[in-house]
Structure 1
Amino acid sequence: MKIILLSGGSGTRLWPLSSDNHPKQLLKLLTDEQGHPVSMLQKVWEQLKRRGLHRSAVIATAAGQRETILAQLGDDIDLVLEPEKRDTFPAVLLAVAYLNSHRNLQGDEPVLVMPVDSMADDSFYETVFRLPEALERSQANLALLGVKPDYPSEKYGYMIPDEAPGTWEKPIAVRRFHEKPTKQEAVELLKRGGLWNGGVFCFRAAYLLDHLKRLELPLTYEELLLGFSRIAVQSFDYAIVENEDNMAAIVYDGAWKDLGTWCSLTEAMRSPMLGNGVMTEDCRDVHVVNVTDMPVIAMGLTDVVVAVSREGILVSGKKSSSRLKDALRLMQSGQPRDIPAEGIWSKTLDRECLEDGTTVTTRKIRLEKGSSLFHSEAGSVVRAVAWTILHGACTLRKNGAAIPLQTGATVVLERDDAGEVLALEPLDLIEVSTVYV
């Protein structure tokens, strides 16, 4: 079995903390069993490591998220770097092509695809990893994970099974889907045995490789990189799932939460206050998340989330936070700017995919004092980088040697070099990164 983790979204529903380069799944808003702050991606990765499945996994993500992911998970991982954002359907196709080219993917081998922005207990993952068995038993083209609903939610899509409730001991056929219903529609869907769509699915490798052929797209990773812009901007659900007649599902009946909105995320946070702030005793069901040095005081509030970053400030009733995308459209300032994560700010200036599949990305980066920027090989990805210091002082550790650098210095690290820039003071630099195929 191969596993594809989808970690490429920007998570605008968690503005102002999330952005293209620092999306919700990389923000350290959760805690591990020891109480240390961790991200959604780190939570899922730890579940894979416990089961020895991380060696079978690749992470499909945007090129701008590379450094943050390496800092959180280490450099011994496989990243499939998308040259541009084109939704989950192109991301899955590119990841399958990568597995086909670099991980010896076999046509009858099951491929499990799952997002990283959900919260669940161990039994959820035990159910997820039964999907390849369900695919084999049902002889379906797709095996899906259906979550047994706790209540008639309007936030989730539903899958409608062929079988009546109470007969879910084995894989069941899926009749159709219903996207984000009204409250009354959700009540009726529950009566008919409707399941929340958990966003997890499994297929045989040949199923997607054949789809690439039908679209007249290449099966190799390097060639598909060049043709990536030709793939329609679509979700996997819309492009594949909703057009497939032969599907089966297995049911998970336990705690599960999609952490896509502030309302759901705050329910998963152990502490109501993250960052510099004070909350008075007359606050009820209030969460404050502050990633700036400015102090925040919350007084006399009920059922409210307050989120503060360099990008902006959100004050919202928790139930209203699901409408955040609509509010962002009203902002005259346009798309949110890049915001800090791990002490790093970055802005992508240019990205180009060359004829041989090599990708060259130019970014402006700022590091706070004490922050680091790394260069190394990541799994099968081979990369060279050039850093030019615009302002500030730093120490470059290159292949074990420490080299002081000042404003105006340029350093190049080739494919086989290992290096780290450690900011001795606030540091601005330009990075030209070359990812070879």
Structure 2
Amino acid sequence: MNIVLLSGGSGLRLWPLSNEQRSKQFVPFFKDENGHPASMLQNVWSQLSERGLHKSAVIATAVGQQELIREQLGRGIDLVLEPAKRDTFPAILLSVAYLYSHRGVSRDEPVAIMPVDSQVGGSFYDSLLKLPQALESTGANIALMGVKPTFPSEKYGYIVPKAISEVSSVASIEMFYEKPSAKEAAQYIERGALWNCGVFCFKVGYVLDLLAKMGLPNTYEELLLAYSHLESDSFDRVVTEKEERIAAIVYDGTWKDLGTWCTLTEELDDPVSGKGFIGKGNKNVHIMNELDIPIVAIGLSDIIIAANNEGILISNKEASVHLKDALLQMKEKSLLKEDSLALIDHTEPQVRTIDRSVFADGTIVTTRRIQLKAGMEKSFIPLEDGRKQIVSWTIIHGNSRLVKKKETKFASAGWNIVLEDSDHATLQALDTVDLMEIITVTGDPVFVNTNEHIDGYLAG
């Protein structure tokens, strides 16, 4: 089975730590088994890797986020690059076209779609592998994974089944309900409703036929040319909710959507991240601070305090589900920054992404501020995917040793080091070193100047 991980959202409900430039799936909210910072994306990829499922997985993401993914997961990740964020419907169409034309996946092979912002138990992946069987046994075009609810949540969508097989735990679908009230949710649960966790499966041919009906090509490069003209909407609304031949399997295990501060903080081991102090009289309070000044909380209950250069949030955890609406109103009043001033990646060494620009010809320029503690190293490794890369290191402060092509030089403040594809170099910090890094990557195949072909496809 092939797997498409959807990793293109902005996650504004976790503002200010998550925003349009640094999406929630990249923020290191968690710790891995070695105690190192880990993001949602890294957690999911680790779970897939433990089961060998990463070999058949691709990640669908916006082109401007590809370097973030490679920083967190490595250079060998197979990416489906969207020229712009346009919701899950166009992202899934493009991903299937990529599997079909680049990976040689046949029409009859199943594809599972899953988000990266969920907390799940190990049995989740056992259920995931049952989705193709549900397609075969029911003759459905789409098989969903439905989570058995533990309480009448207002945060999730619901799948109301007609009937559930006691033998196979496969259900036929009656209807969908999106984020009902707690009273309505309780009524749906009495009817056997399941939480819609955004995981589903279909055969490659199902989407290829859909592309054909829309008069669109089924190859990755050709579909990219018409991408900006695809409907910007969710796959659920455009396809799933209109599909008559649909089924669901029941997953009775650990699952939680981490898309809001309320649900995310329930999974955090430490109530304080960054400079913060929780004083007396607090109950269920979390501080997530990326500023270099302390935050102190006293006598509060059920509160999230999150702060960085983007802004400061102080909210009741349950009420934080309304954050996105507040941000839209703030944007109308010009109270939000157009772009983040600095995006903290929380890696070691300390990295701040100052700017990431994507130009019309596919060139990507990333500017980062990096601090190396004494003994740390920063290495330059050429890309292995055919693209060209030029990296400039300008040392702002501190002393270091540059090892380049087996030659060693002393490099201090004022040095500018330019590295190209043929270079292999390492910068070793002798004391605390601050530097600016500019990475210029060219040769990405996503952007091709062939507007005449776009017009041809639209006319067809």
Contact 1:148 1:195 in 2 (8 A): yes
Query: 1:80 Cα deviation (Å)?
Result: 1.6
1:17 aligned partner:
17
CA distance in 2, matches of 1:64, 1:395: 32
**Does 1:367 pair with 2:370?**
yes
Match of 2:344, SS state, is: coil
CA distance in 1, matches of 2:405, 2:105: 34
Contact 1:387 1:432 in 2 (8 A): yes
CA distance in 1, matches of 2:110, 2:404: 41
1:428 aligned partner:
436
Question: What is the CA deviation profile of residues 67-110 of structure 1, one whole-angstrom value per residue up to 9, with x for unaligned ones?
Answer: 32222222222122222111111111221122122211111001
2:279 aligned partner:
280
Question: What is the CA deviation profile of residues 236-285 of structure 1, one whole-angstrom value per residue up to 9, with x for unaligned ones?
Answer: 11121112111110001122110000000000111111222211132111
CA distance in 2, matches of 1:296, 1:224: 49
Contact 1:304 1:316 in 2 (8 A): yes
Contact 1:396 1:405 in 2 (8 A): no
1:413 aligned partner:
420
Query: 1:137 Cα deviation (Å)?
Result: 1.5
Match of 2:359, SS state, is: strand
1:333 aligned partner:
335
Is the deviation greater in 51-60 or in 92-101?
92-101
Is the deviation greater in 140-149 or in 269-278?
269-278
The correspondence of residues 87-126 of structure 1 with structure 2, limited to 5 A, is: 87-126=87-126
Question: What is the CA deviation profile of residues 270-324 of structure 1, one whole-angstrom value per residue up to 9, with x for unaligned ones?
Answer: 1111222211132111111112322221111111011121211111110111111
2:450 aligned partner:
none
1:309 aligned partner:
308
- Judged with a 3 Å threshold, the aligned counterparts in structure 2 of structure 1 residues 395 and 98 are, in CA distance, closer, same or farther, namely farther
Match of 1:162, SS state, is: strand
CA distance in 2, matches of 1:138, 1:144: 12
Match of 1:163, SS state, is: strand
Question: What is the CA deviation profile of residues 141-185 of structure 1, one whole-angstrom value per residue up to 9, with x for unaligned ones?
Answer: 101000111111111111111116x84733211122111112222
The correspondence of residues 155-304 of structure 1 with structure 2, limited to 5 A, is: 155-163=155-163, 167=166, 169-304=168-303
Contact 2:392 2:416 in 1 (8 A): yes
Is the deviation greater in 388-397 or in 44-53?
388-397
2:452 aligned partner:
none
Query: Cα RMSD between the aligned structures?
Result: 2.7
CA distance in 1, matches of 2:424, 2:196: 43
**Does 1:32 pair with 2:40?**
no
- Judged with a 3 Å threshold, the aligned counterparts in structure 2 of structure 1 residues 152 and 418 are, in CA distance, closer, same or farther, namely farther
- Judged with a 3 Å threshold, the aligned counterparts in structure 2 of structure 1 residues 405 and 54 are, in CA distance, closer, same or farther, namely farther
Contact 1:18 1:339 in 2 (8 A): no
CA distance in 1, matches of 2:241, 2:193: 16
Query: 1:375 Cα deviation (Å)?
Result: 5.4
Contact 2:64 2:357 in 1 (8 A): no
- Judged with a 3 Å threshold, the aligned counterparts in structure 2 of structure 1 residues 200 and 285 are, in CA distance, closer, same or farther, namely same
Is the deviation greater in 136-145 or in 339-348?
339-348
Contact 2:64 2:358 in 1 (8 A): no
State how many pairs are aligned: 428
Query: 1:387 Cα deviation (Å)?
Result: 3.5
In terms of Rg, which structure is larger?
Answer: 2
Query: 1:397 Cα deviation (Å)?
Result: 7.0
**Does 1:349 pair with 2:357?**
yes
Match of 1:426, SS state, is: strand
CA distance in 1, matches of 2:259, 2:25: 9
CA distance in 2, matches of 1:95, 1:373: 32
The correspondence of residues 132-151 of structure 1 with structure 2, limited to 5 A, is: 132-151=132-151
Query: 1:390 Cα deviation (Å)?
Result: 6.8
| Structure number with higher relative contact order (C-alpha < 8 Å, ≥ 6 residues apart) | 1
The percent identity for this pair of structures is: 45
Question: Structure 1 length as normaliser, TM-score?
Answer: 0.89
